[in-house]
């Protein structure tokens, strides 16, 4: 196996006494698509900023493309593309100018930057907005411009912190397609997301983080296999009967998860559980059997829903 492009060992980031990242270990292989999943405040963005060589670590080891961000920040940053959680575009500049200025910041030749900028405007579907002021773009358009800008230096590693938050479904699907193509060309992707469908679509491997620590690691399929049942039965009894039904269902299936509006029954065979529940004289208002998803893994490991 080729050497990892990112290695973190006992990586810690403290703000005062508070450890936002509390000793995490991971490796990312070249060309891999690696995801960080976790609830709000888990330490995902803090980790991304350390990888991006814009925030120094408190302790532990961190190597990006074989380099230490403490001593080789500029060299690392020149090979990264960064999409931060909050857009940090230059509001005063026009759309195309944002790309040009950013490209020249990397010391790229003027002609090359101009060519690249035009390609990226097409990539982000912003050709018609090339001369618009950034301030006048919609939220989703700003996001697309931030992503385009991150690609101006043809990065080896692309860091994407919640890349598709605020994008409409069509723009999200287009972006997934573009990211997939970048991956096919060998770009390493590191991303955070709150969308499990995005994680399942894009990530070869992911870690679930909570309170600065890694709770689980694996491919989406292996995480589901290891941390959830094959199927999930979702039953609704109405808010006045939910608690009572939950009590009576406590021993049904492998385990149950009681949500405010429904009860999830984890089992290899959802239909069989439904038959059992009905035989107990409990009749749900609605029932649904589905395959387990990453959301179930997330719920199990963090006790929280992906989108709170």
Ligand X SMILES: Nc1ncnc2c1ncn2[C@@H]1O[C@H](COP(=O)(O)OP(=O)(O)OP(=O)(O)O)[C@@H](O)[C@H]1O
Q: Are strands 213-218 and 255-258 parallel, antiparallel or unpaired?
A: unpaired
By CB under 5 A, tell whether 164 contacts Mg ion.
Answer: no
Give the nearest distance from C-beta 112 to ligand X in angstroms: 34
Cβ–Cβ < 8 Å for 134, 95: yes
Nearer to ligand X, 108 or 306 (CB): 306
Both structure tokens of 55? 């925030």
Give the nearest distance from C-beta 17 to ligand X in angstroms: 11
Contact partners, residue 192, CB within 8 Å, separation at least 6? 35, 36, 37, 38, 44, 45, 48, 85, 160, 161, 162
By CB under 5 A, tell whether 45 contacts Mg ion.
Answer: yes
Q: For residues 155 and 158, what is the distance between their CA atoms, to the nearest angstrom? A: 6
Nearer to ligand X, 15 or 105 (CB): 15
Name which position in 15, 173, 280, 303 contacts ligand X (CB under 6 A): 15
Q: For residues 17 and 293, what is the distance between their CA atoms, to the nearest angstrom? A: 36
Give the nearest distance from C-beta 20 to ligand X in angstroms: 3
Q: Which stretch binds Mg ion (CB under 5 A): 80-88, 224-232, 234-242, 271-279?
A: 80-88
Q: Is the dihedral of CA 96, 134, 193, 82 positive or negative?
A: positive
Q: Which stretch binds Mg ion (CB under 5 A): 27-35, 36-44, 93-101, 178-186?
A: 36-44
Q: Which stretch binds ligand X (CB under 6 A): 42-50, 96-104, 145-153, 266-274?
A: 42-50
Name which position in 4, 8, 11, 45 contacts ligand X (CB under 6 A): 45
Q: For residues 52 and 64, what is the distance between their CA atoms, to the nearest angstrom? A: 9
By CB under 5 A, name the binding residues for Mg ion. Answer: 44-45, 85
Q: Which residues bind ligand X (CB under 6 A)?
A: 15, 20, 38, 40-46, 85
């Amino acid at each position: 196996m080729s050497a990892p492009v990112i290695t973190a060992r006992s990586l810690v980031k403290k703000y005062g006494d508070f450890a936002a990242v509390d000793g995490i270990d991971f490796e990312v292989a070249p060309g891999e698509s690696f995801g960080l999943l976790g609830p709000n405040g888990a330490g995902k963005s803090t980790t991304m900023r350390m990888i991006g060589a814009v925030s120094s670590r408190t302790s532990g080891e961190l190597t990006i493309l074989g380099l230490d961000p403490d001593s080789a920040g500029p060299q690392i940053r020149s090979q990264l593309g960064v999409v931060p959680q909050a857009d940090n575009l230059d509001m005063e500049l026009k759309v195309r100018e944002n790309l040009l200025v950013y490209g020249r910041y990397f010391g790229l030749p003027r002609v090359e930057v101009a060519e690249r900028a035009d390609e990226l405007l097409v990539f982000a579907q912003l050709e018609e907005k090339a001369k618009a002021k950034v301030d006048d773009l919609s939220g989703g358009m700003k996001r697309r411009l931030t992503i385009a800008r991150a690609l101006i230096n043809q990065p080896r590693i692309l860091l994407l912190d919640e890349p598709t938050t605020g994008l409409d479904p069509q723009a999200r699907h287009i972006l997934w397609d573009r990211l997939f193509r970048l991956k096919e060309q060998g770009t390493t992707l590191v991303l955070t997301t709150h969308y499990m469908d995005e994680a399942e679509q894009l990530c070869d491997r992911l870690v679930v983080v909570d309170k600065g620590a890694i709770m689980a690691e694996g491919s989406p399929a292996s995480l589901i296999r290891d941390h959830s049942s094959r199927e999930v039965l979702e039953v609704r009894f109405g808010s006045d009967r939910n608690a009572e039904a939950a009590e009576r269902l406590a021993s049904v299936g492998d385990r149950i998860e009681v949500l405010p509006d429904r009860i999830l029954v984890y089992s290899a065979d959802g239909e069989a559980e439904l038959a059992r529940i009905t035989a107990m004289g409990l009749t749900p208002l609605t029932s649904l059997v589905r395959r387990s998803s990453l959301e179930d893994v997330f719920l199990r490991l963090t006790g929280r829903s992906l989108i709170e």
